Structure 1
Amino acid sequence: MKFLRSWPYTFIVIVSIVTGVLAIAASMYTGVGLRDPEGFLGPAYVRLPMLGVLMFLAGLLPAAIRRRGWKEIPRGMVEVVKHEWTVKRALYIATGMLAFYVCYVGYRNLKSMLPIFTNEVVWDTELAALDQFLFGGVNPAFVLQDMFGVGVSAAVLSWVYLFYLPLIPISLGVVLVFSRDLRVGAWYATAMSLNWIIGTVCYYMLPAVGPIYYEGTNYAYGALPETNTTSLQDALWNNRMEFLADPVTADAIHGVAAFASLHCSVTFTMALFAHKTVRNAVIRWAGWIFFGLTFIATLYFGWHYLVDSLAGIVIGWLAVAIGAWATGNQYSRRRTLDSDMTETPEGVRPEKPALRV
């Protein structure tokens, strides 16, 4: 198995190729065409490289100022590119983004075909009963809505839940571009990509639509004010209905699946990765707080059952642990993403890392 770690991207590149092949095979079998899911900055193949370029430019100026001061910024920029931006570093970043992109698009398409392969069988009755059992016969959404209220809290939790969408590509770009230790960037790209893969497996193991769709708005969620999150819930359900009506010709991509919560898994991955690689306590605490609020939001708005969100934590932990092993980071000490290199007159020299996962 050593060959999987000879290059930090070997493992996730293989995983991405397998994912892409499975998505293509599923598309050919079902007749449902592959689609590139769009995000807040357009298709993934546009926003990921664009964010990479923006992060590069954002980091270039301060690095140039550190080297030569305000009076010699152009010279400093040339030196930064010459000494720090090697072809190897650029290829590593491109590989990380490409592997992530293939895994994400494969995940979205396999998730879209979920109702076809599972014959629309769902486990919501059992999952809802488990929630009722764990909360003494009460829907956990009721508990959280009574605890936090349905006014300002709904608006705040909605913002937290939706900020996850742009945060994923932004965080990937930040880590890949700003981390001078190339293995650390590979670790994050691998961990984030594994969330999609493990999550897809969970969708097929235990298909479910989630409390908001299974129980309906009049049961626990009708008291919530209209927010962008509730609008998104309506849009996703409409897309599901359009897809189920005619999967082959539908323009919509199906995106409803409850087990497990990838909102929880991805934000847990972010928080745990930051905990292991960032010295700044504010950033680490911000990561854990954001994860905690996301966990609450998944239940508060009825996206997920409690077991879905708990399973998301397990997925997030697995993604970080497997990513660390696959990229050779399992024996690293905590370090900052931007201080893995020490500047010298000749350029930059890597310091040996090493933190235990």
Structure 2
Amino acid sequence: MKFLRSWPYTFIVIISIVTGVLAIAASIHTGVGLRDPEGFLGPAYVRLPMLGILMFLAGLIPAAIRRRGWREIPRGMIEVVKYEWTLKRVLYIATGMLAFYVCYVGYRNLKSVLPIYTNEVIWDTELAALDQFLFGGVNPAFVLQDMFGVGVSAAVLSWVYLVYLPLIPISLGVVLVFSRDLRVGAWYVTAMSLNWVIGTLSYYMLPAVGPIYYEGTNYAYGALPETSTAALQDALWNNRMEFLADPAAADVIHGVAAFASLHCSVTFTMALFAHKTVRSAVIRWAGWIFFGLTFVATLYFGWHYLVDSVAGVLIGWLCVALGAWATGNQYFRRRTLESDMTQTPEGVKPEKPSMQV
């Protein structure tokens, strides 16, 4: 066990290798080719390095101004790169992005072949019955739609649900590039990557498609206005039908799975990590509010049953805890503003401190 914590990235690198091997093995066994999922700013192997570079550039100029002032920005930039951007720091960031990328792509491909290995067996009947029991015989979507309405609230919750997609790589780039403590960056990478791994396991343990697909739009969701979320739901179902018709020949990735909610697990991971590491109360509260709205959206639009979203919260907590243990941050405490300002980052000359966010 000590070996797994000898380097902040040892644990998640091993996990990413195992995940990648399993995805390759599943691809060979099923005859379904591996795919690199496209998303915000293109494929992940383009998106993550691009965001890392953008975050680096975004922080370089303020750091240069802090070091040398407005009149000597070019010299300040050179000094920031020379003294702060050590080879070790660059390698840590590259390792984190690569581990995250392998875990994410492995997750998407293992999720894609889920119907093949589960023979399309789903547990939606039982999960829907549990929802009805917990809400007194009423679909929780009805309760939330009556509570919040189906006008402006639908548009806001749809935006919240979809902004999650670009927020993941952006947050990863921010933490890796701006964190002074390299172990903290490793903690976030490990926690976020574990969401994909544990989430994949939950899909195979209890396969389900979710209320919107199991119960249909005419039951609880027909009253909702047309939103981008509704368009995404239609697209995912069409992809599922195309995939099931001929998995080996399908030109799409199957992406329908309800248990557990990774929207809830990932946003809870973000909020809990920020709560434990970020000094700004505004950022911490924003994280929790975003998570809360996401939790509501998963039920409101019929993506998940209540137990799916609750399970997502538990997964998020587990990912943060395991990430802290694996990277040596289990006893981490937020530094006070004063101690952070006087800390000298590795490789930086103390007489000319630079700004860190």
Q: TM-score, normalised by structure 1?
A: 0.96
Cα distance change, pair 346–30 in 1 and its aligned pair in 2 (3 A): closer
Distance in 2 between residues matched to 1:274 and 1:187, nearest whole Å: 12
1:171 lines up with 2:171 in the alignment: yes
CA deviations on 1:129-180 (whole Å, 9 max, x unpaired) are 0000000000000000000000000000000000000000000000000001
Instruction: State how far apart, in whole Å, the 1-side matches of 2:345 and 2:325 are.
Output: 34
* CA separation of 1:160 and 1:345: change in aligned 2, threshold 3 A: closer
Distance 1:44 1:341, change over 3 A: farther
Q: Could you tell me which residue of structure 1 aligns to residue 45 of structure 2?
A: 45
CA contact (8 A) 2:268 2:316 kept: yes
Matched-pair contact (CA < 8 Å) for 1:180–1:341: no
2:129 corresponds to which residue? 129
Tell me what 2:353 maps to.
Answer: none
Give the partner amino acid of 1:32: V
Amino acid at match of 1:126: E
Deviations 1:215-245 (A, max 9, x none): 0000000000000000000000000000000
1:206: which partner in 2?
206
SS of the counterpart of 1:29? helix
Q: Which runs of 5+ in 1 are unaligned?
A: 351-357
How many Å separate the matches in 2 of 1:24 and 1:338?
Answer: 49
Counterpart amino acid of residue 150 in structure 1: V
Shift, 1:334, TM fit:
1.3
**Structure-2 change in CA distance of 1:338 and 1:159 (3 Å):** farther
Is the 1:4–1:10 contact (alpha carbons within 8 Å) kept by the matching residues of 2?
yes
**Residues 53 and 248 from structure 1, CA distance in 2 versus in 1: closer, same or farther, beyond 3 angstroms?**
same
Hey, what's the Cα distance between the residues in 1 that align with 2:347 and 2:70?
Answer: 19
Structure-2 change in CA distance of 1:234 and 1:127 (3 Å): same
Work out the CA distance in 2 between the residues paired with 1:91 and 1:24.
26
- Deviation for aligned residue 1:337: 11
**2:9 equivalent to 1:21:** no
- Is residue 251 of structure 1 aligned with residue 251 of structure 2? yes
Q: How does 1:57-76 map to 2 (within 5 A)?
A: 57-76=57-76
Once the two structures are superposed, the pairs formed by residues 1-357 of structure 1 within 5 Å of their partners are 1-335=1-335, 342=342, 348=348
Query: Equivalents in 1 of 2:147, 2:88: separation in Å?
Result: 52
Aligned letter for 2:177?
A: V
Q: Secondary structure at the match of 1:144?
A: helix
User: Are 1:55 and 1:173, in contact at CA under 8 Å, matched by a contact in 2?
Assistant: yes
Q: 1:174 to 1:11 in 2, by over 3 A?
A: same
Please give the TM-score of this superposition, normalised by the length of structure 2.
0.96
Gaps of 5+ in 2: 351-357
- Cα deviation for residue 342 of structure 1 reads 4.0
CA distance in 1, matches of 2:166, 2:342: 32
How many positions carry a matched residue from both structures? 350
How far is 1:3 from its partner?
A: 1.1
Distance in 1 of aligned mates of 2:58 and 2:10: 29
Contact 1:343 1:349 in 2 (8 A): no
Secondary structure, aligned partner of 1:332:
coil
Structure 1 residues 349 and 180, CA gap change in structure 2 (3 angstroms)? farther
> CA offset at residue 207 of structure 1?
0.0
Spell out, residue by residue over 1:55-80, the C-alpha distance to the aligned partner (whole angstroms, 9 max, x if none).
00000000000001100000100110
Deviations 1:7-44 (A, max 9, x none): 00000000000000000000000000000000020000
Distance 1:339 1:191, change over 3 A: farther
Q: Quickly say closer, same or farther: Cα 1:344–1:22, change in 2 above 3 A.
A: closer
Question: What residue number does 1:354 align with?
Answer: none
Q: Would you say the 8 A contact 2:84–2:346 is kept in 1?
A: no
CA distance in 1, matches of 2:135, 2:39: 36
Aligned-residue identity in percent: 90
Aligned CA distance change for structure 1 residues 134 and 147 (closer, same or farther; 3 Å): same
Q: Which has the higher contact order (CA 8 A, sep 6+)?
A: 2
Is residue 179–residue 338 contact of structure 1 (8 Å, CA) maintained in 2? no
- Supply the distance in 2 between the matched residues of 1:18 and 1:122 (Cα, whole angstroms): 26
Distance 1:241 1:342, change over 3 A: same
1:290-322 CA deviation, whole Å, 9 max, x = no partner?
A: 000000000000000000000000000000000
* Contact 2:131 2:140 (8 Å CA) reproduced: yes
Rounded to whole Å, the distance in 1 between the matches of 2:4 and 2:81 is 30
Q: Distance in 1 between matches of 2:79 and 2:337?
A: 20
CA contact (8 A) 1:278 1:336 kept: no
1-structure distance, mates of 2:226, 2:300: 14
Contact 2:209 2:256 (C-alpha < 8 Å) held by counterparts: yes
